[in-house]
Amino acid sequence: MTARIIDGKTIAADLRGKVTDSVHRLLRDRGLVPGIAVVLVGENPASEVYVRTKSKMVAAAGMHAIDRKLPVTTTEAELLALVGELNADPVVNGILVQLPLPPQIDSHKIIAAIDPAKDVDGFHPLNVGRLASGLPALVPCTPLGCVMLAKSVHGSLAGMDAVVIGRSNIVGKPVAQLLLAENATVTIAHSKTRDLPALCRRADLLIAAIGRAEMVRGDWIKPGATAIDVGINRVPAEGGKSRIVGDVAYAEAAAVAGALTPVPGGVGPMTIACLLLNTLRAACAQHGLPEPKI
Ligand code: NDP
């Protein structure tokens, strides 16, 4: 079998297009422009590139991008004060504090200080609890993107056996909650799981969010299954260069799986598209408008 390649770039572009149309309608009908504040503390080059890309896409979708860059020496009190300011600013509908934060700042405290209605990353304990309780919530962007990609293949995920490798608060746990909400039968695996290959071979839907280059081999995948690869791992390449690979051994998996996301070009592009969607949803909710139909 040769897997169908799930084209995250195209699916994300389609989603961004729908969000942009909805943003234009919001401006035309209500005079509203959703705004998102992205806060970056310190000078992590990878985060800076990511934040720049985010800002460009936010602007391209017709939204306000409010970028706040703070020095690496910023104290927790200073960052809490900024979050308080953004919480109170009516132009700001979404707040995203780029993680990781420098060691003097407790990221849990910062996340908990964000107004849950503006928590477009979906990391606030209230949104985490709402998702777990099956209530409407702002949900984390990468997990939401994973579920959209799986649904692009299957339509409904009801009754599927899903295995999620990874239990982080950012990816593993929320993706498992979202799959459960889609009526999949979900197993969460982690570093203490016994016989991971055998567990994975039972999955109709395998989500790898590990952070270990090509750990999931072709013979871990049930023939015909769908594999969604969240991993972003930089590995040495020829000529002293480096390249990005996922958590799934792509060539091996492509020979076995029914559908597979590439890295790059799979889950990655969905994350920012889902951030735009969350910002639009947050803006509508804050203005008492119905959930946008996307
Ligand atoms: P974390 O390091 O927070 O979590 C990794 C998880 O993998 C942990 O639960 C860990 O288990 C589990 N794990 C580690 N080693 C093994 C192993 N040998 N066997 C089974 N499970 C293992 O990572 P994140 O969840 O933040 O990210 C995961 C990957 O996704 C990374 O490559 C990251 O770069 C990428 N990512 C991509 C995004 C995108 O937009 N495409 C966005 C966010 C992340 P345990 O809990 O027991 O330690």
Which CATH number covers residue 69? 3.40.50.10860
Do 146 and 255 lie in one domain? The reply is yes
Which residue of the set 115, 121, 229, 247 is catalytic? 121
CATH code, 150: 3.40.50.720
192 lines ligand 1 (CB under 6 A): yes
| Chain segment 244-286, per-residue pLDDT in tens | 999 999 999 999 999 999 999 999 999 999 999 999 999 999 9
CB burial readout 120-159, b (16+ within 10 A) else e:
bbbbbebbbebbeeeeebbbbbbbbbbbbbbebbbeebee
Q: Dig out the tokens for 68 from the structure.
A: 């706040």
231 lines ligand 1 (CB under 6 A): yes
CA atoms 86, 70, 274, 56: torsion sign: positive
Domain-located, residue 238: yes
Strand partners for 208 = 165, 229
Ligand 1 center to 290 CA (angstroms): 35
Do 156 and 56 lie in one domain? The reply is no
CB burial readout 273-287, b (16+ within 10 A) else e:
bbbbbbbbbbbbbbe
Domain-located, residue 281: no
CA atoms 159, 161, 165, 166: torsion sign: positive
Domain-located, residue 150: yes
Do 167 and 262 lie in one domain? The reply is yes
Domain-located, residue 24: no
Closest CA to 24 of 61, 66, 65, 64: 61
Domain-located, residue 216: yes
Do 158 and 224 lie in one domain? The reply is yes
Domain-located, residue 9: no
98 lines ligand 1 (CB under 6 A): no
35 lies in which domain range? Answer: 30-115
pTM of the model: 0.97
Do 111 and 168 lie in one domain? The reply is no
Q: Which residue has the tokens 């939204």?
A: 63
Domain-located, residue 125: no
Contacts of residue 117, defined as CB under 8 A and 6 or more positions apart, other chains included, come to 138, 282, 285, 286
pLDDT tens across the length of the chain (294 residues) = 699 999 999 999 999 999 999 999 999 999 999 999 999 999 988 888 888 999 999 999 999 999 999 999 999 999 999 999 999 999 999 999 999 999 999 999 999 999 999 999 999 999 999 999 999 999 999 999 999 999 999 999 999 999 999 999 999 999 999 999 999 999 999 999 999 999 999 999 999 999 999 999 999 999 999 999 999 999 999 999 999 999 999 999 999 999 999 999 999 999 999 999 999 999 999 999 999 988
Domain-located, residue 201: yes
Which residue has its alpha carbon closest to ligand 1 atom 48? 191
121 has catalytic annotation = yes
